[in-house]
């Protein structure tokens, strides 16, 4: 008789004996199993998550201010045509973001072609410390760090180029610090579209920030001829209290060109963002010095933005941005006021808080009328309209 038959006989005998003892009013105790049974081993599964996303913005501009340098009364505009990938695996994360409305050359000397907007990896130690490395959105500028698909009006404004734009570098970040775990931190955050309670911060050291229109020197035709800046140093401190309050202050500077020419470009930025019921208000201030390395070329700007949720699909929006520019000891002023409506096509929800907007903005039509009041000597470096303009844009996001 083989071993299997012996084990089977023992089991059968035990069952029969149990029944016999039970019928006799007795009790059978078995202290050890008659047959060794191996339990399945636990296996830690290796998991990863991949997300493919993108959006496009197709627009029209009407009027004398339609397109700089064009004589057409109607200008066609493609602000963004983007595709991206996000990757998560445990504490690891990564992001690649491409913009096919940009050139395939490295005009900003950041190390990759302009069509590559983001290309970085991240390691999340915890919510208070995330390490990023690669081509990253720099942390100075509240309006700049808001995603392009989440803007209240069609253009960011003529202060956008005062930020450092994107650059290759290393960043240490933290979010949702000090008041418990109030929100999800995935390690890829660059803006403040997720609400939480507590402090946040970003510290970054970068290489050349030549994508910034306020950093590079340019000739009269707008062509870059100096992009050999030294390292940039920048940081941002934030405090949030849910939907009702987001505040931040950021500062950064980048030394003049490595050949010794040019002054250090310095940026101070402060911003407040508040959502309550169907309304949202924002205020943002810039104070910058030595634009494009030119001593005494300074600027300060103040942007005020407000939106109000009229119906489930229509939102009123207004943004007023004003700035004073100083060049050669002479001050000049500029103002662009955007007045318009946002129409949400088949919105995912009927909420307009910071978190819900991520879903609502997938299909949106925006109409803006821009009132321009600009001194002749005001040069500016961003999306400045010198004449009244009508803007129309359709956005698709997935």
Question: Residue 325's pLDDT is what?
Answer: 95
Q: Is 240 helix (H, G, I), strand (E, B) or coil?
A: strand
Question: Residue 114's pLDDT is what?
Answer: 93
Q: What is the dihedral of CA 251, 256, 258, 261, to 10 degrees?
A: 180
- pLDDT for 264-291, tens place per residue? 899 999 999 999 888 999 999 999 999 9
Average pLDDT score over residue span 28-32:
50
* Residue of 277, 332, 340 lying closest to 305 (CA atoms): 340
Q: What's the rounded Cα separation, in Å, for the pair 336 and 302?
A: 11
- Give the rounded percent of residues in the chain with a pLDDT score beyond 90: 60
- pLDDT for 366-383, tens place per residue? 999 999 999 999 987 778
Q: Are 364 and 339 in contact (CB under 8 A)?
A: no
Where is pLDDT greater, at 251 or 256? 251
Residue 66 has pLDDT above 70, yes or no: no
CB atoms within 10 A of CB 320: 16
Q: What's the rounded Cα separation, in Å, for the pair 209 and 227?
A: 8
Question: Residue 124's pLDDT is what?
Answer: 97
Q: Which CATH number fits domain 49-397: 3.40.1030.10, 3.40.50.850, 2.60.40.10, 2.40.160.10?
A: 2.40.160.10
- Give the rounded percent of residues in the chain with a pLDDT score beyond 70: 81
DSSP state letters, 40-58: PPP------EEEEEEEEEE
- pLDDT for 115-136, tens place per residue? 999 999 999 999 999 999 999 9
Q: Are 176 and 197 in contact (CB under 8 A)?
A: yes
Residue 246 pairs in a beta bridge with 240, 273
Q: What's the rounded Cα separation, in Å, for the pair 319 and 383?
A: 14
Give φ, ψ of 155 to 5 degrees. -110, 150
Where is pLDDT greater, at 255 or 88? 88
């Amino acid at each position: 008789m083989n071993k299997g038959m012996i084990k089977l006989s023992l089991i059968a005998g035990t069952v029969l004996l149990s029944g016999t003892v039970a019928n006799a009013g007795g009790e059978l105790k078995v202290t050890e199993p008659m047959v060794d049974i191996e339990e399945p081993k636990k296996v830690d599964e290796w998991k990863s998550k991949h997300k493919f996303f993108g959006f496009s913005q197709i627009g029209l501009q009407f009027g004398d201010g339609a397109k700089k340098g064009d004589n057409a009364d109607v200008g066609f505009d493609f602000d963004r045509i983007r595709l991206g990938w996000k990757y998560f695996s445990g504490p690891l994360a990564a992001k690649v973001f491409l913009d096919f409305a940009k050139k395939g050359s490295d005009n900003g000397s950041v190390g990759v072609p302009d069509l590559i907007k983001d290309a970085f990896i991240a390691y999340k130690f915890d919510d208070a410390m995330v390490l990023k490395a690669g081509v990253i959105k720099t942390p100075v500028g509240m309006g700049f760090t808001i995603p392009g698909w989440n803007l209240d009006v069609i253009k960011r404004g003529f202060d956008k180029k005062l930020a450092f734009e994107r650059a290759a570098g290393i960043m240490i970040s933290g979010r949702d610090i000090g008041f418990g775990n109030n929100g999800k931190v995935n390690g890829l955050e660059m803006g403040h579209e997720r609400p939480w309670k507590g402090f946040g911060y970003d510290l970054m050291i970068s290489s050349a920030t030549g994508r910034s229109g306020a950093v590079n020197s340019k000739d009269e035709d707008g062509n870059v001829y100096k992009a050999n800046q030294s390292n940039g140093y920048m940081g941002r401190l934030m405090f949030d209290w849910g939907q009702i309050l987001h505040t931040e202050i950021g500062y950064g500077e980048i030394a003049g060109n490595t050949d010794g020419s040019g002054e250090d470009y310095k940026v101070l930025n402060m911003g407040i963002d508040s959502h309550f019921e169907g309304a949202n208000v924002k205020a943002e201030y810039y104070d910058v010095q030595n634009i494009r390395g030119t001593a005494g070329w300074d600027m300060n700007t103040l942007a005020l933005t407000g939106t109000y949720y009229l119906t489930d699909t229509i939102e009123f929006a207004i943004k007023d941005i004003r700035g004073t520019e100083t060049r050669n000891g002479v001050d000049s002023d500029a103002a662009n006021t955007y007045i318009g409506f946002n129409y949400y096509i088949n919105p995912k929800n009927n909420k307009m808080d910071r978190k819900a907007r991520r879903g609502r903005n997938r299909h949106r039509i925006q109409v803006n009328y821009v009132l321009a009041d600009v001194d002749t000597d005001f040069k500016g470096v961003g999306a400045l309209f010198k004449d009244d303009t009508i803007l129309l844009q359709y956005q698709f996001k997935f």
